Each structure stands twice: as structure tokens, then as C-alpha cells.
Structure 1
Amino acid sequence: MENNLIMFNSVTLAMRARDILGINNVFSRLIRTPINLKNRSCGYSLLVKSDFSKAVEILSRNGIAYIGTAAVDAE
């Protein structure tokens, strides 16, 4: 298992991040943050199944703040 979850402070920011990743050809899916990680986020995260390091780089380059990453079983 590798890091594949990006957690955000708001669902709006998570949706904006998803859109920016899509424009850059990185697939991500908006999901509910797993219950054991919810105290670290708003309850929504992006699941990135491949190109995780590229996704984080794109978000940083575009000024999208995220509050953490985690490794979860891909759905």
C-alpha cells in the first residue's frame, strides 16, 4: 500500500483540486475520508490510484493546500 489519499479542509477545495488534476490528466475520485482519518480532515478526500507524486506536485504548483496524505486500500 502506498500513499494514495489527499485530505482537505473543505469539500469545495477537494473538488477544486480534483478539477485541476483532471485538467492535468491525473485521475482522482472524491471520496468520504475513512472514519479513522476523519479527525484530520473535513470528511472528504481525493483518492489517487496512480501518479500520486505527480498529483501532489500539481496541487502544490497551483497553490492548493491539503492537510495531509495517507495510505488506504484502493476501492
Structure 2
Amino acid sequence: MNEKKYGTKQEIAEMFGVKKGTLDNDLTKMRRNPKFSEYVIRKSYKVTLVSVVGYEEFIKYCGRLQEIV
């Protein structure tokens, strides 16, 4: 059980098959939403860590919102 809890933006983009621009937009939305802001950690100016579980939950959340609309 050696699964990563957090990944860099590049690792998350590769893991979920999204482009960097899409991930950047998603991270902005996550930071602005109190439910998901805890899943994004700005470690330094150049390093942002993202929770793998948190990003997965965010994607599911966005999918449910689209089903409603």
C-alpha cells in the first residue's frame, strides 16, 4: 500500500489524463470552494501539491453539477 496521497500538478495531470491548462482551471475552482480548498497545498512559489483523493472527489462533484444543469 504505497499509493501517493499528494502529487505535483504534472503528476496529477498525467494520473487523470487532463491537460495542464485544464488542471490549472480546476485548481483555481478548488481553491475558491471551501469544500475543496484543503486539497490544494501551495508548498512554495513553484510547487503546488494536490490531493489525489481530493481531485477525484472534485471531478465527481463537477460531473454531478453538470447532470443537474
User: Taking structure 2 as the reference length, what is the TM-score of the superposition?
Assistant: 0.44
More helix by share: 2
More strand by share: 1
User: Taking structure 1 as the reference length, what is the TM-score of the superposition?
Assistant: 0.41
Larger radius of gyration: 2
